[in-house]
């Protein structure tokens, strides 16, 4: 997949089959649209083109709204779209100026002149342009004028998979990482850099890697303990992760720390990828370190059992 960080570097391709949107999570409902784009590209001997935005439009349009959480960082989205088989990805720098572009301008300047769209594929509820004025009817009106086709994925095709980015966020907020994985078509994941911690875990036989998220808006599941898979230098390892306030030993600040079952090398400064397999339990406060250590032994056995079943 070729990635373009602006329209300036993109050159029109043969029979461009185009779609656009935030595609946060690139989940199974998105796959319905992507599969249709690829199907049409094959039929017309063309190439698939997807336009997305960075940063997320809400951060520009509603800067005081701090409730937005992302299922995908831009790098994760790029990897997911590459895996989905898209030929060309245009990452549009989203600005206030861009947000003021009318739908008519977007159609003539971007879809027609810049991309040379053969067919545009959109979801049934897709809106675009200034004040979200652009609709399927609006696109259909201009399609005849400019000589491109437009296809709307039927509502029943999207609703059939019963998935949305909102539903995935709700599942994660409830700690239901298995449902989130079903909606995504893969385990939910995040990346981060291993940073210095208090090193208490190693004194009780459970050394942990403290992780700093690589994006401040990345959605994390409900605080608690999880069985996880960790990718380090392209190799998979398994362990258990605690995300929360660590009430027994700290209770003052949120932290993400993972204990690996089969890895004990120095990871400081390295970026690692963590995939959630299943939730083990809520985070809780214990009556001292000995009780915490006893529970961690139980958590490890529970996690190993889950991992064995999942793999």
Q: Is the pLDDT of residue 127 over 80?
A: no
Percentage of the chain exceeding pLDDT 90: 76
Three-class SS of residue 267?
coil
Q: Are residues 144 and 223 in the same domain?
A: no
Q: Are residues 112 and 213 in the same domain?
A: no
At 100, list the tokens: 């003021």
What are the phi and psi torsion angles at 8 (to 5°)? -60, -30
For residues 55-83, give the mean pLDDT: 94
pLDDT tens per residue, range 31-56: 999 999 999 999 999 999 999 999 99
pLDDT score of 139? 86
Domain tally, the chain: 2
pLDDT tens per residue, range 288-299: 889 999 999 999
pTM score: 0.92
pLDDT score of 253? 87
Nearest CA-CA partner of 110 in 61, 62, 148: 148
Q: Are residues 196 and 278 in the same domain?
A: yes
For residues 143-172, give the mean pLDDT: 87
Least confident of 83-87, 156-160, 182-186, 236-240: 156-160
CATH of the domain at 305: 2.40.30.30
Q: Are residues 145 and 38 in the same domain?
A: yes
Number of other residues whose CB lies within 10 A of the CB of residue 175? 22
Q: Is the pLDDT of residue 234 over 70?
A: yes
Contact (Cβ atoms closer than 8 angstroms) between residue 21 and residue 54: no
Within a domain: 279 = yes
Largest CA distance in the chain: 74
pLDDT score of 9? 94
Q: Are residues 231 and 293 in the same domain?
A: yes
Within a domain: 283 = yes
Q: Are residues 117 and 256 in the same domain?
A: no
Q: Are residues 261 and 113 in the same domain?
A: no
pLDDT score of 131? 72
């Amino acid at each position: 997949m070729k990635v373009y960080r602006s329209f300036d570097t993109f050159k029109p391709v043969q029979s461009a089959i185009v779609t656009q949107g935030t595609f946060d999570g690139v989940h199974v409902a998105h796959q319905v649209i992507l599969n249709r784009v690829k199907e049409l590209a094959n039929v017309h001997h063309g190439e698939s083109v997807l336009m997305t935005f960075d940063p997320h439009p809400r951060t520009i349009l509603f800067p005081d709204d701090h409730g937005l959480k992302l299922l995908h960082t831009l790098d994760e989205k790029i990897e997911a779209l590459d895996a989905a088989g898209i030929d060309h990805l245009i990452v549009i720098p989203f600005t206030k100026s861009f947000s003021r572009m009318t739908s008519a301008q977007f159609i003539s300047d971007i879809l027609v002149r810049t991309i040379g769209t053969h067919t545009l594929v959109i979801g049934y509820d897709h809106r675009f342009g200034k004040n979200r004025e652009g609709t399927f009817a609006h696109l259909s009106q201009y399609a005849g004028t400019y000589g491109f086709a437009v296809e709307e994925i039927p509502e029943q095709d999207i609703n059939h998979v019963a998935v949305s980015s909102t539903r995935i966020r709700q599942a994660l907020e409830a700690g239901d990482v298995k449902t989130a994985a079903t909606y995504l078509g893969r385990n939910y994941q995040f990346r981060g850099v291993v940073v210095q911690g208090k090193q208490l875990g190693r004194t009780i036989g459970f050394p942990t890697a403290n992780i700093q998220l690589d994006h401040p808006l990345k959605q994390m599941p409900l605080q608690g303990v999880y069985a996880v898979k960790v990718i380090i230098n392209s190799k998979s390892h398994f362990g258990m992760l605690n995300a929360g306030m660590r009430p027994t030993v700290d209770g003052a600040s949120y932290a993400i720390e993972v204990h690996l079952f089969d890895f004990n090398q120095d990871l400081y400064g390295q970026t690692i990828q963590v995939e959630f397999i299943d939730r083990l339990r809520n985070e809780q406060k214990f009556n001292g370190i000995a009780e915490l250590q006893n529970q961690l032994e139980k958590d490890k056995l529970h996690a190993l059992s889950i991992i064995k079943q999942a793999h």
